[in-house]
Amino acid sequence: MSSGAPRKYPGYGSSERTQYAPYSAFDIPADLRELHGRWDVEAVAQRVRNYRYAEEWSMRILGGWVATIPELPVKTGLGKIIWDCAQSADALGERLPELRFARRPTGVALSPNPDFAKLVEAISEPEDPDLTIEKLVGIFEVLFPHLVEVYEHNIRHTDAIADAPSIELLENIVARHRRHMAWAEEVFDRLVDTAEERERREQRRRELGARLRACGGVTGDWPIEPENTVEAVRKEKST
């Protein structure tokens, strides 16, 4: 190489730099993500275990109901949703060893508290063929919307760079649950026709919703109070 030619690789002297212009993570494309999320590694692992608990039990409850639901398109529609929940639970389990939580897959699910476990049990209770509305409300109008809210909150408030794998898998799960809820909405449009049926739907939603709020949801700390958000914490630190 002639001495005047632009260098492709750095040399040992300060004059032996390469020809390439410097770019950092803050240039092109602009990386607007910030370090530091609301949770540390252990706390994220704990939340992932909570999510896994909700996804696993959703899969099992829906599996139990398939035989007890007389409406054929609901029966068959649940088949795919069961598999989606299984994949979500599995992906959450796969994330745990990456967060220093390595156990056998069956031991990873964790309810945040006994009351959330009781809520899940209450959701699973209806089994009579007359109770398709009550069954579907528990999963599709109480639990899944709650999970979507919590997962999206998690996506927004975890460390956007360091915890990106959690974000990506939660985004996938959120997309699945949004499809599930849209499917259920169509089912409700067909199933809920009379004033009595509307009242059954509303009452079930009220009852389970109250229990969900009382137990703090899937992570035991929901709803998130404004003073605990990551933005509030950052603001407090900066002042």
Q: Is 102 in the site for other proteins (CB under 8 A)?
A: no
Q: Minimum distance from CB of 78 to other proteins (Å)?
A: 7
Going from the C-alpha of 194 to that of each of 127, 131, 161, 189, the distances in angstroms are 21, 15, 50, 11
Nearer to other proteins, 65 or 222 (CB): 65
Q: How far apart are CA 128 and CA 132, in angstroms?
A: 8
CB 77 within 8 A of CB 203: no
Applying CB under 8 A, does 93 fall inside the site for other proteins?
Answer: yes
- Residue bearing tokens 């706390």: 43
Q: One symbol per residue from 18 to 37: x for binding other proteins (CB under 8 A), - otherwise; what is it?
A: --------------------
Q: How far is the CB of 46 from other proteins (least distance, A)?
A: 19
Exactly one of 7, 41, 43, 75 binds other proteins (CB under 8 A); that residue is 75
Contact between 70 and other proteins (CB under 8 A)? yes
Alpha helices per DSSP H over 67-163: 72-98, 114-124, 132-136, 144-157
Q: Which CB, 31 or 127, lies closer to other proteins?
A: 127
Instruction: For residues 108 and 92, give the distance between their C-alpha atoms in angstroms, rounded to a whole number.
Output: 9
Q: Cβ(171)–Cβ(104) under 8 Å?
A: no
Is 168 near other proteins (CB under 8 A)? no
Peptide bond before residue 29 is cis, with ω within 30 degrees of 0: yes
CB 88 to other proteins: min, Å: 10
Cβ(77)–Cβ(183) below 8 Å: yes
Instruction: Quote the CA–CA distance of 201 and 141 in Å, as a whole number.
Output: 9
Q: Which is nearer to other proteins, 37 or 93 (CB)?
A: 93
Question: Is 207 one of the binding residues for other proteins (CB under 8 A)?
Answer: no
Q: How many helices (H) and strands (E) are present in the chain, helices listed first?
A: 8, 0
Shortest distance in whole angstroms from residue 107 CB to other proteins: 9
Q: Using the rule CB under 8 A, is 184 a contact of other proteins?
A: no
Q: What is the Cα–Cα distance from 72 to 55, expressed in whole angstroms?
A: 24
12-20, 55-63, 110-118, 155-163 -> range binding other proteins (CB under 8 A): 55-63
State which residue, 153 or 180, has the beta carbon closest to other proteins: 180
* Coil/strand/helix, residue 70: coil
* From 124, 158, 166, 219, residue interacting with other proteins (rule: CB under 8 A): 124
Q: What is the token pair recorded at 101?
A: 């939580």
Contact set with other proteins (CB under 8 A):
56, 59-72, 75-80, 82-83, 85-87, 90, 93, 104-106, 124-127, 129
